[in-house]
Amino acid sequence: MPNREPIASSSTSQFQMNVTVYGSVKPCPVLIRRTQRSLKANSGGRDYFSDITLHDARNAGGMRVEFSVTATSPQGALRAGNVYLSQLCDLLTVVTRSPVWFYMPDDDSAEERIRSHRRSASVDRIMTEDEWSWITGNLVYLRRKHPRFLAASSWYRKGLLGRDVIDDFCCFWRVSERIAYSYADKSGWSDDDKQRSQVRKCVSQLRDDLFPENAPSILADETVSKIVKLRNDISHGNVPITLDIIDTASEFISPLEAVAYEILARLRDTELVTEDVA
């Protein structure tokens, strides 16, 4: 018989989670061991805050994140904490352009710790105080008001962590595609425009919106058409995955990653009007 979670009651408790986040990102010295209060969730019109602390987990090969979770059971706290930390890692990756990840349960991280100890050298991106404040201060706001941005951030992190060029190609393209659907300025579109290929039209519009000058060549209309066709062929199984397909997808990965990062960065600066969550 599988273990069943106890029937949840209406009462909630506070749980403390302590998780090591791996990757080539380290907090700046001023952030280490400093606890700050951040908005962690909003449910039923009620805000839930968490005390969140960063530690430099050098011996474990990463940094340690300590935060509180409000839940009705330990299992519920683990589920909620995993979602919160995963989204936190998505934003951390988007801001620093360095992928981070964690393991749950902790037993799964044993091999990662061994690999970290065997490294003879490392180059780490130092996360600044402003970057960390933006991440913790806007996660819930993005979840509420900009879920497509949060979803695109997740695809970006998946692409950086992937080891399959086909999957990575699709992940990085989804960033541009998802953002274009939601944030391209369609105010000047005619009814005929809205009936045309939404993907190509939205990406073209987003390119003009975010890159009025010196737009990346990967977003040129002809190139976008090739990418969309390749993505459709791969996703719908229209063609077998041959060496030619793999090579073609591989050639797109670097420019698609670069433009995905730039789109997310420019969107943060121009479109995401944040709330005061202090």
Convert the pLDDT of each residue in 186-197 to its tens digit: 888 887 777 776
Place of tokens 């591989």: 250
Give the list of residues 6+ apart from residue 274 with CB closer than 8 angstroms, or none. 134, 137, 138, 141
Give the pTM.
0.87
pLDDT of residue 198: 83
Distance CA 20, CA 56 (A): 9
Q: Hey, where are the domains in the chain? A: 13-145, 154-270
Nearest to 48 by CA among 68, 76, 65, 18: 68
Where on the phi/psi map is residue 44: left (φ > 0), alpha (ψ -120 to 50), or beta?
left
Closest CA to 148 of 173, 175, 172: 175
Separation of CA 5 from chain center:
30
pLDDT in tens, 120-170: 678 889 999 999 999 998 988 999 899 999 999 999 999 999 999 999 999
